């Protein structure tokens, strides 16, 4: 298995070298909007620990990501009046992983509305700002 790459985009976001639309942060995790969302409010939850995927993350770091994914799912459901939420986590290229820093996708869903194809369009930054504000407000409730 390949080792962790400290220059992946999420590592750069964690170091503040690349911007993101942050919605939540604590000592173990960071949650921010996907810039190519498959649904409005599509959020990524990542560990601050340098973990490539499920094969090398420490159990307590993975548990922290899962806890925050649940927190984001509840907030996103409120913020976007979602009928449901899809949570996905991919491992290695054959498993669908594209960015090799462990992350969970939290995607609010509406009945009868399909997810957009992966990486099909980059969202307008103003829309992302508005979605981040909605999620942050819902997290405070």
Range of the domain at 99: 9-140
CA dist 15 and 33 (Å) reads 17
Of 71, 74, 108, the residue nearest 88 (C-alpha): 108
Catalytic site residues? 103
CB atoms within 10 A of CB 107: 23
Within a domain: 1 = no
Within a domain: 38 = yes
Distance of CA 12 to the CA centre of its chain: 15
CATH of the domain at 44: 3.30.428.10
Handedness of CA 72, 73, 79, 80 (dihedral sign): positive
pLDDT of residue 2: 78
pLDDT of residue 141: 85
Relative to beta strand 43-47, strand 29-33 is: antiparallel
Half-sphere exposure of 104 (CA within 13 A, CB side): 26
Within a domain: 105 = yes
Tell me the two tokens of residue 68: 């925050």
- Give pTM, 2 decimals: 0.97
Q: How many domains does the chain have?
A: 1
Could you write out the DSSP letters of every residue in 45-109?
EEESS---STTTS-HHHHHHHHHHHHHHHHHHHHHTT-SEEEEE---SGGGT--SSS--EEEEEE
CA dist 56 and 58 (Å) reads 7
pLDDT of residue 97: 97
pLDDT single digits (tens) 20-40:
999 999 999 999 999 999 999
pLDDT of residue 128: 98
CA dist 23 and 21 (Å) reads 7
Ranges of the chain with pLDDT below 50: none
Within a domain: 58 = yes
């Amino acid at each position: 298995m390949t080792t962790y790459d400290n220059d992946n985009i999420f590592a750069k976001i964690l170091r503040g070298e690349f911007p993101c639309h942050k919605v939540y942060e604590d000592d173990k995790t960071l949650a921010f909007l996907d810039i190519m969302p498959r649904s409005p409010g599509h959020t990524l939850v990542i560990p601050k620990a340098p973990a490539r995927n499920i094969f090398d993350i420490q159990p307590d770091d993975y548990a922290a990501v899962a806890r925050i994914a649940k927190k984001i799912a509840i907030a996103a459901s409120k913020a976007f009046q979602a009928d449901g939420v899809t949570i996905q986590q991919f491992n290695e290229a054959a498993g669908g992983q594209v960015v090799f820093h462990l992350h969970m996708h939290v995607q609010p869903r509406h009945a009868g509305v399909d997810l957009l194809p992966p990486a099909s369009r980059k969202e307008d930054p103003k829309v992302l700002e508005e979605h981040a504000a909605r999620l942050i407000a819902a997290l405070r409730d």
